[in-house]
Chains A and B, each alone.
Chain A
Amino acid sequence: MTTDVLGSPVKRVEDPRFITGKGRYLDDIQMTGMTYMAILRSPYANANIRSIDTSAAKAMPGVILVLTGADVPYNPLPMAWPAGGSSGVQNNINMPRALATDDVKWTGEGVAAVIAETPEQAADAVEVVHVDWEPLPAVVDTEGATQPGAPQLHENAPNNVVFVWTVGDKAGTDAAVDAAEVVVRQRIVNQRLIPNPMEVRGDIGLYNPGTDEYTVWMSSQTPHIQRLLLTAFVTGIPEHKVRCISPDVGGAFGTKIFCYADMALVMLASKLIGGRPVKWVETRRENYQSTTHGRDHVTYLEIAGKRDGEVTGLRVKTYANLGGRLSTIGPGVPTTLYARVLAGCYKIPNVYCEVTGVYTNTTFVDAYRGAGRPEATYVIERAMDLFAAEIGMDRAAVRRKNFIAPDAFPYDNPSGLGTAVNGEKIYIDSGNYEPALNKALMTVGYDDLDKAKAEARTRGKHLGLGLSTYIEVCGVAPSKWIGAVGEGWGAAMWESANLKVHLTGKVILTMGTQPQGQGHETTYSQIIASELGLAMDDIIVQHSDTLGTPFGYGSYGSRTSSVGSTAAIKAAGKVREKARRYAAHMLEASVDDIEVVGAEYRVKGSPEKKKTLQEIAFALDLGFSLPEGMEPYLDETAYHDTPNCTWPFGTHIAVVEVDEDTGKVDLVRYVAVDDVGNKINPMIVDGQLHGGIAQGVGQALWEEAIYGDDGQLLSGSMLDYALPRASWMPNLELDETVTPSPVNPIGVKGVGEAGTIASTAAVANAVIDALKPFGVRHLDMPFTAPKVWRAMQSQEVRS
């Protein structure tokens, strides 16, 4: 029977199309009359535009239209999540326009667009758009930008400060630090990353002159949100005149949450050329310059405590680089998504964090897999290692001593989860951290670490082991809390589902969430199969099109399995209840006497009197005979606002070896024990962890966006920005503990980001452990061979 499909490692229903080359990504869409857009991007990081001459471009073969900023009648892109909130600090919002008008603030900001008959013609013509530039000095250094004398990017942001935002108890934390037996201080850098989904972004705009309506295909995580933002904030076109569609999305990792200039441009261009479709697909080089980056923090941490290992205070000051202008939720990432979970899984009584958002002449920074939480985990997990080293205590023991106890939940986190203005709080609702730690230590052979280090020395290697005991917050919620923290435009965070059982008994679930590789079509099918007692083959999941799916917030922040699934379960519950009432009508029994067993609706005590869901749907959908007050059709919609976030946790352990001659770091083992609650499909859960871990490892060992002082992106292509390759990764050793989430009916928590959140710190701690013989206390990522080699050249203890 199908009811045990929930929790099974079912093969994905998406895969047949992907493994045969039949997936349909944005650039795979071909249409009659298609035109192609290319965007001219600024070669300067900071410059004024004196004038733009498009005449040569207009005369090029095949050119249909050339646009500059002056031709675009739209507002700047919207800011959906300004900081502010508890600190009440004025924000200085400077958003990009569809095309820059007077000035550019980063290398790669769009200044003109060419629409031509072929991609070749567009690429050729965009080269001859002439811009008369007035180059200005640029600033790319996050802290340096706030110093006197730095080039000023925006008049409304003196010293390039976007905001100064604080959270936690300053007086209490200052007192705790002042009174502490031990205080460890360290400056740490969480370097800028380029997210690199394998499919770049792109859009197709299609204007229908007959109806005055637009259709926009976009490689996006959030088609409903984009429709809202593009209409209500950017173009002024009425929301009901625009339809947004995300086809198959080839990875996103946060970068496809946002509202981008190109989306508006393809709409405008299609209208201006009479309704021919306009396709724009960025090159990878453009992706590096003008799709959002991630991370980029400079942090001063102070961890205070007692010599017995008890941590009593955490004081953190962070500078967050947000780029030359802001991206859609840029300010929300280094504030709420970061500082409110800084204390991780530890009961630290006093926590205070101050975050300064900074403008620099760089690409905008926004959510990248984990979004704030990897940065927070990196801070606290480095801090715990630094603290343990300072007091000479075992790293695992210090963690154990400070874990929030299993009986302390719901736990009111002092780093600010509960500091909303009108008393709305969210709590860490569940957790049991020690078993995961113990399991991971056992698996990796922690007790034999010294032996392993000695063995590695015989091979010219320095072995290191690093721990990361993390928590994650998934599916940020509930909406009333988000509203109450006073940040953002009031976007709620509920999710939606519509479930129809059609006449033939086939089931269509439409969702407001938007997959990018997570396998939603499979996991939602498993849920509905389980809820309604159906075969997965009888269910299809539709998504990604604002026509025909209920409004939803899309997929990011590991929210789909918790919030989206609960919406689907609720819709299924409504279907079941209506089917039950109709079964009572068909079977001439009272509703209370109908019991549901799988897909059968039976009269209690008379199991031969029964109707299947298919039989019920057929009759109900026809509607020839309806009980009083019942509407025809088995069609139910549910919206779900979850009462709390979910709180995955676990322990990751990395083992690295550093080559004594070259400084090259090899990741040789990786053990992860994660508690993501119950699993809808354990195969998919493991896959999410694998990929997440690799991305976090990538940050620790190889990845870094590097700017020259003049604002040129030096790591401007895959030739200079290193992504993890197969031969650099070991097989990953996964294990689990299971603490079901109490906030949804199936006890799931979300797993899209856990691997990334945990792994960066584990690898960093491992490398620094390996370098202990050299007196290295801290080193900033990425741990490239030259950097590690240099660190090994000195025996001095570094501060």
Chain B
Amino acid sequence: MTEQVRLTVNGVPRDVEVEPRRLLVQTLREDLGLTGTHVGCDTSQCGACTVHLDGRAVKSCTVLAIQADGHVVTTIEGMAPDGGLHAIQAAFWAKHGLQCGFCTPGMIMSAADLLESNPDPTDDEIRHAIEGNICRCTGYHNIVAAIREAASTLRAGTDVPAAANA
């Protein structure tokens, strides 16, 4: 038994047919081919699957695709749709905020939720805001530095043109 679901993903309406038990992360990855959103656990702990649902960071492994029917989803692929980089992406690159890269998309999506509501976070606030995202590679040191830098870039209102990241 499947149901028709309409999502707006990265600004584009997408119709998919899913079993009710299909998780949002499965639909994004398997039905829509958006494999930047990852699955790192089966208990909603690791945060690798973090996407934005109606503008808020959620764990897409703990949302049914059918629950997202009629809602707006942004994934890592939609962070900088023009082919450039979002300031947070640029800062993760500049500050070496990633190693294996597996947690990175989720980490960036959580950082984006934070900086939306708190443009000038302290280190403690940054660390608290990414508690739902586990990184096993970086010890978080450079992730915190990256988010700090991204916050500063965003506050300055500087766009990050694609060419600047080459």
Contact = CB atoms under 8 A, between A and B. Distances in A.
Interface stretch (A15-23, A165-173, A497-505, A604-612): A15-23
Interface string A18-31: 11111111011010
Contacts of A198: 38, 40, 46, 48, 100, 102-103, 134-137
Nearest to B37: A21
Given A284-B40, A693-B139, A732-B139, A21 B77 contact: yes
Contacts of A248: 100-101
A119 B39 CA distance: 14
A23 B103 CA distance: 11
B76 interface: yes
Contacts of B41: 284, 717-718
A556 B96 CA distance: 21
Interface string B136-158: 11111111100000000000000
A624 B4 CA distance: 64
Interface string B17-33: 00101100010011001
Nearest to B34: A21
Contacts of B165: 16
What band does the interface of chain A fall in when counting residues whose beta carbon is under 8 Å from B?
Answer: 35 or more
Nearest to A286: B42
A283 interface: yes
Interface string A703-731: 00000000000000111000111110101
Contacts of A344: none
Nearest to A196: B136
A293 B123 CA distance: 33
Binding site secondary structure of chain A: loop
Contacts of B48: 198
Contacts of B100: 197-199, 248-251, 516-517
Contact of A20 (B33, B40, B77, B99): B77
Nearest to A516: B100
A690 B141 contact: yes
A228 to B, nearest CB: 25
Given A19-B92, A517-B99, A726 B40 contact: no
Interface in B41-87: 41-43, 45-46, 48, 75-77, 79-80, 85
A729 B135 CA distance: 12
Given A120-B19, A198-B48, A717-B42, A19 B139 contact: no
B30 A517 contact: no
Contacts of A30: 30, 33, 35
A248 B141 CA distance: 23
Interface string A191-222: 00000111110000000000000000000000
Given A197-B100, A519-B99, A724-B139, A28 B46 contact: no
Interface in A122-137: none
A727 B43 CA distance: 20
B131 interface: yes
B22 to A, nearest CB: 8
Contacts of A16: 85, 93, 165
A249 B141 CA distance: 21
Contacts of B77: 20-22
A627 interface: no
Nearest to B138: A691
Contacts of A20: 36, 76-77, 79-80, 85, 89
A285 interface: yes
Given A518-B99, A691-B137, A19 B93 contact: yes
A723 B36 contact: no
Interface residues of B, number: 60
Given A284-B41, A519-B99, A725 B138 contact: no
Given A723-B134, A732-B139, A28 B35 contact: yes
Given A15-B92, A30-B33, A691-B139, A199 B38 contact: yes
A700 B34 CA distance: 38
Contacts of B3: none
A552 to B, nearest CB: 20
Of residues B33, B42, B127, B144, which shows the largest number of chain A Cβ atoms within 10 Å of its Cβ? B42
B108 interface: yes
A176 interface: no
A12 interface: yes
A602 B65 CA distance: 65
A12 B93 contact: yes
A694 interface: yes
Of residues B45, B92, B102, B123, which shows the largest number of chain A Cβ atoms within 10 Å of its Cβ? B102
Interface string B89-110: 1001110101111111100100
Nearest to A697: B139
Interface string A234-254: 000000000000001111010
Interface in A3-20: 11-12, 14-20
A46 interface: no
A226 interface: no
B126 interface: yes
Given A18-B101, A19-B93, A21-B75, A727 B46 contact: no
Given A21-B105, A517-B99, A250 B141 contact: no
Contact of A691 (B42, B124, B136): B136
Given A18-B104, A199-B40, A731 B45 contact: no
B123 A690 contact: no
Contacts of A253: 136
Given A690-B138, A727-B131, A732-B139, A19 B45 contact: no
A726 B140 contact: yes
Nearest to A285: B42
Contact of A250 (B21, B96, B101): B101
B61 to A, nearest CB: 10
Of residues A30, A198, A692, which shows the largest number of chain B Cβ atoms within 10 Å of its Cβ? A198
Contacts of A516: 100
B76 A683 contact: no
B46 A718 contact: yes
B108 to A, nearest CB: 7
B136 A684 contact: no
Contact of A687 (B46, B99, B103): B99
B40 A687 contact: no
Contacts of B26: 119
B39 A27 contact: yes
A725 B103 CA distance: 13
A726 B127 contact: yes
A731 B137 contact: no
Contacts of A120: 19, 21-22
A718 B45 CA distance: 6
Nearest to B130: A726
Nearest to B88: A19
Contacts of A686: 96, 142
Nearest to B105: A21
13 contacts: A15-B101, A120-B19, A251-B136, A253-B136, A284-B41, A690-B141, A717-B43, A717-B45, A724-B140, A725-B140, A726-B144, A727-B128, A729-B127
3 closest cross-chain pairs (CB), A and B: A21-B36, A517-B100, A18-B101
